[in-house]
Structure 1
Amino acid sequence: MEERNEAAAAQSEADLQGGTEPAERTGNTDPAAQAVQEMQEVQEVQEVQAVQTVQEDSAGREAPAPAGPVIRAKYNKRELAFTGEEAAPLVQKGLKFEAIEPDYRRLKRLALAEGVGVSELLDRLLRESDEAAYRRALEDCGGNARAAEKLAAFQRREQEERAGGREADTAEREFREVDAAFPGRFAGAEELPVPVVELAARRGLPLLDAVLRFDHEQKRQAEAARVRQEAAAKASAGSMTGETARADLDAEAFSAAFAAALH
């Protein structure tokens, strides 16, 4: 059917271009027959055009423009149409970019000075920041590498959440982080030491961070107390030894004086 329609359309186009009347092809000069034949040919051409239209639609023609009021914008050398609902979040993103565009331009200039792309520069800065954060966490945890890794990872997740515009979770979620790091140590958030809660609130630290800092300070104080006790014990022992020696000297002097008196 499609081949016959295409052939009829091609023949009709050739007839129009060559100025040949359909009656001249068939040799039929009857006006009625000629009219019928012309109508058949017109119908065949219309059928071919309809088939071509369906094929074009199935091949992926552009969707019709949205109904109702639209907002048109050019992007990537194309004009796009958006409904008000579709355009609202795009406008919001555009306003946000407008606010940070000066910073982005400075960042791009810095990347050009370093001879790298913006993405590569950001990756390097983030990597250096993570390494510095781990060194600080290692110091806060008294050299405990495992605890430092947990602390640094927790801080990184917190930063990512805040950078993404998400509010920090409640103390309940933070307590779950503490419980995962120290299973069974605290039955609930109410059992957390008061200094931990105060430190977290005063300095805006996550609970896990505050617990690790608290533990480190407790160990430091315990070690300092042990050193003081040892020093005091040594000093006390030295004092007693000195008193014994002085008593011996006094006894010797008394004996010498007593012996001299006897002579």
Structure 2
Amino acid sequence: AVIATDPRVQNAQERLEHESRYRVKTKEGIGFEKLEGTRIAQEKLQLEDDAALAADEMASSIWKDNYRGRQMEFFARRDQIVNDFGLKFGKDKAGVNAAIDAYFSINGEDFKNLMTGGVDWDRFFAARDATLEGLSSTNLQLVKSYLRRYDTPTVTAFRKAQSDLDEYWAIEDLVWSRLRENEEFNPYLNLNDYLLNKSQSLADSGVPLEEVSRTLSRLDIVNKVTSMVSKLRNRYRLTHPDADALLGKWYGLSPVRPTKASLPGRG
């Protein structure tokens, strides 16, 4: 306390702060400051949304849209800042640097949901996470710490919920894997890939773009997959109450209720 209040120490601190404030900054240094400033500003907005969500003043769907929107905005602004200021994140493109580069290269526009026309955010985030799978456990932790250093407690809880719901979301892929025994569907890894091929065929045959989605939604395979997935996910929720609670909290789904057919003693 004595040292901290010594006038000589205070004067030295003020001088250092003054020199730092007016020191000539490199173009790259300014770029990194802008990058960090963008994240800090977004963190402030995120905390405001978190408080609104906790107070039931914001729907979880709006919270998620805002969160994902900020993520996409940061990636877009990051690319612009990197280009404007010539930032370098490591000369080599191996290991950690390659993983981070691949992570930021994932484009939401490549994960369109052909039924809704919007971005399939779950597939987008899964694809980003997949870019980190080749890292060692130590490097994976380092990269995650770097990428998520501005995560708020609520965002951390949301990320964990996505991980806890992996099995639930994977049900559609499970259903599709069984349908791939059919020769028509075998070449496609998932329903969206199949629909992408169908939509291109429709467009090539002259079907107007605005009609494509409606045509796809009426396909028998879409109705079949939708029905099977709905039934299996309902059963999953009945046997996994924790997952059911997460779906209610983050996706606004009403708690699942047993049907008469699923009650003991019923056919």
State TM-score, norm by structure 2.
0.23
Higher relative contact order, chain-length normalized (CA < 8 Å, sep 6+) = 2
Answer with 1 or 2: which has the greater Rg: 1
State TM-score, norm by structure 1.
0.24
In proportion to residue count, which structure has more helix?
A: 1
